[in-house]
Amino acid sequence: MLHGKVAIITGGSRGIGYAVVETYLKNGASVALFASRQETVDKALSKLAEEHPNAPVMGLYPDLSDLASVEEAFGQVKERFGRIDILVNNAGISARESIFDYKAEDFERIIRLNVTALFNCSKVAAVYMREQGGGVILNASSMVTRNGQSAGCGYPTSKYAVNGLTRSLARELGPYHIRVNAVAPGVTRTDMVANLPQAMVDRLLPSIPLGRMGEPEEVANAYLFLASDLASYVTGAVLHVDGGAIA
């Protein structure tokens, strides 16, 4: 479904991001995975080499909150693979502190990675995609944009911003044949969910009509669809992949 395409996936070393990397490779794409540190990049590349020998994949660890660092990394991808067709803005962090305990620097850190980094990567990708005549930008939203969450206000705040940026860029970049969409996962079996208190997970599951957590591969399939030509007339959408949790 992505034969000949080149994709950049931020937060691609684990969880949903890693599942997207694997799904894209299986569907013919060349992939550059971005992570926060060299050791996480090396670990992911080593695992991919075992499971997908000779796969066209590279790894980098730019500071996504710094525009110059993003520009340099995208330039390396272009030099290696010749073009950039797909950007998956998957990197993100969460928090669960009460507003009474929330530190301003922690709030700002979430905004930097979940919003500013997304803007930086989208800005640089849009330049390459406009020159090529089109492309796809996909952003990581969340089910919390429907109802918020009971603590950790920085995370839902950032994801509301993601939705706004997604819809705005869809309008702005549509004339250049650049589609912009978002995927909003529900409760998915990732490291982030593993860090939640079990009591919280137990409360969440009965509210999911399908009666279970999602798997990273199921969310990755949504990213595959939106990146492919099957979604050629889809832009400005936020696709919920949550087992019906917000239905």
Cite the active site residues: 155
Put residue 16 in one of left, alpha, beta given phi > 0 → left and psi -120 to 50 → alpha: alpha
DSSP 103-157: -HHHHHHHHIIIIIHHHHHHHHHHHHHHHHT-EEEEEE--THHHH--SS-THHHH
Backbone angles phi, psi at 100, to 5 degrees: -70, -25
Residue listed under structure tokens 């009591």: 199
| Cβ atoms within 10 Å, residue 217 | 15
- Output the CA–CA distances (angstroms, integers) from residue 108 to 59, 152, 164, in the order listed: 27, 12, 18
Q: Within 13 A of 107's CA, how many CA atoms are on the CB side? A: 14
Residue listed under structure tokens 């540190």: 37
Residue listed under structure tokens 């020159």: 131
Burial of 42 (0-12, 13-18, 19+ CB in 10 A): middle
Token pair of 120 as six digits: 């930086």
Residue 216 near residue 188, CB atoms below 8 Å: yes
